[in-house]
């Protein structure tokens, strides 16, 4: 029991620099978690200090990136009995190498979906100035909900598959890591993107890039299509060509750049009005017509009756006067 809280229940693997265990967190109703124990078997103070630095860096990176739902959450980092431990979220799923072995090579549509999901994670990683340096199928887990999770940020496990050809430590896996990373220990966002391309190739072909790297070095990337069982579309082929450029300056420089080519925004055409015809007739708008109001029939009848009435009154008055004069 570590820290009176974390109880290891199963070994998940190990290497020359440590071991990984599935464990239970008894403070969270025995919720599963992962414990990484740093136990290096290196000789020399320099190598030990470098390994310790990388282990601590992984903890810092996980803490930095734990807001992203597709990166494991750091739960604890501590020293107990002169050994360092890192505790992180357990991801319930299967890595892509195991998926390849069980289900066979990936179809192009599946690769496109992988790129959309994985590159979205890398956007966040690179925005935080973090370079993963060891992207490969084993370090990508498909969660039970189908989403991908990127694991192993600078863990001691990375050091078990590295090569050092110049002063300084170069980290990465043979076949997946680009030239600048393996020879000079340099890493850029474009370095991770090369590893993404190599991962796609492995899943499309079923061939481990390390097998080709052993025979041809980095020359294999010029003829990667010849190793596929089924050809890919021109669009995906152009994207992989650019990811596989040996010189990092010639590759995509950001995950956003790959996403733009993979899923370009639709172009909305602006409707153009046709030019006016030279034979068209110019129509002058008609002047508004003013309607003259006709006199109402009701008003006309009323006037007629009034005039007739007046005339009758005058006639009767004249007759009355005539009779009066006659009697006199």
196 closest CA partner among 255, 256, 270 = 255
Q: Bridge partners of 15?
A: 18
For residue 263, the Cα-to-chain-centroid distance in whole angstroms is 10
Q: Is 134 a catalytic residue?
A: yes
Bridge partners (DSSP) listed for residue 37:
19, 85
Of residues 25, 66, 134, 261, which has the active-site annotation?
134
The CA dihedral of 19, 84, 131, 157, to the nearest 10 degrees, is -20
Q: How far is CA 80 from the centre of its chain?
A: 39
Tell me, what DSSP letter sits at residue 269? Answer: P
Structure tokens at 306: 């009034």
Contact predicate 79/93, CB 8 Å: no
Q: What number of other Cβ atoms are within 10 A of residue 38's Cβ?
A: 20
DSSP 107-156: PHHHHHHHHHHHHHHHHHHHHTT------SGGGEEEETTS-EEE--SS-G
Q: What is the DSSP string of 41-98?
A: ---SHHHHHHHHHHHHHHHHHHHHHTTSTTSPPEEEEEEETTEEEEEEE---EEEHHH
Can you state the percent helix, strand and coil of the chain, rounding each to 5? 45, 15, 35
Residues classed as catalytic: 134
């Amino acid at each position: 029991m570590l820290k009176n809280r974390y109880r290891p229940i199963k070994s998940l693997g190990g290497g020359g620099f440590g071991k990984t265990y599935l464990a239970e967190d008894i403070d969270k109703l025995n919720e599963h978690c992962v414990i990484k124990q740093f136990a290096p078997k290196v000789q020399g103070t320099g190598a030990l200090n470098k390994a310790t630095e990388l282990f601590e860096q992984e903890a810092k990176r996980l803490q930095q990136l734990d807001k992203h739902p597709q990166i494991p959450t750091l739960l604890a980092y501590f020293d107990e009995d002169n050994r360092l431990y890192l505790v992180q979220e357990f991801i319930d799923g299967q890595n892509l190498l195991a998926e390849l072995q069980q289900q066979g090579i990936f179809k192009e549509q599946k690769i496109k979906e992988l790129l959309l999901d994985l590159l979205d994670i890398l956007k966040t990683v690179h925005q935080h100035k973090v370079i993963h340096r060891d992207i490969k199928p084993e370090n990508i887990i498909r969660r039970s909900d189908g989403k991908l999770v990127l694991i192993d940020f600078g863990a001691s496990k990375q050091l078990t598959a590295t090569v050092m050809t110049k002063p300084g430590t170069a980290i990465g896996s043979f076949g997946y890591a680009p030239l600048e990373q393996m020879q000079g220990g340099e890493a850029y966002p474009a370095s991770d993107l090369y590893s993404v391309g190599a991962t796609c190739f492995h899943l499309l072909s079923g061939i481990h890039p390390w097998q080709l790297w052993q025979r041809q070095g980095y020359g294999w990337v010029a003829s990667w299509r010849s190793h596929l069982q089924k050809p890919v579309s021109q669009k995906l082929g152009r994207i992989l060509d650019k990811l596989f450029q040996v010189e990092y300056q010639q590759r995509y420089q950001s995950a956003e750049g790959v996403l733009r080519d993979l899923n370009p925004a639709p172009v909305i055409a602006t409707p153009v009005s046709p030019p006016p015809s030279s034979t068209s007739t110019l129509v002058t708008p008609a002047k508004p017509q003013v309607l003259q109001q006709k006199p109402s029939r009701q008003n006309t009848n009323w006037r007629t009756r009034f005039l007739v009435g007046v005339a009758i009154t005058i006639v009767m008055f004249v007759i009355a006067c005539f009779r009066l004069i006659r009697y006199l």
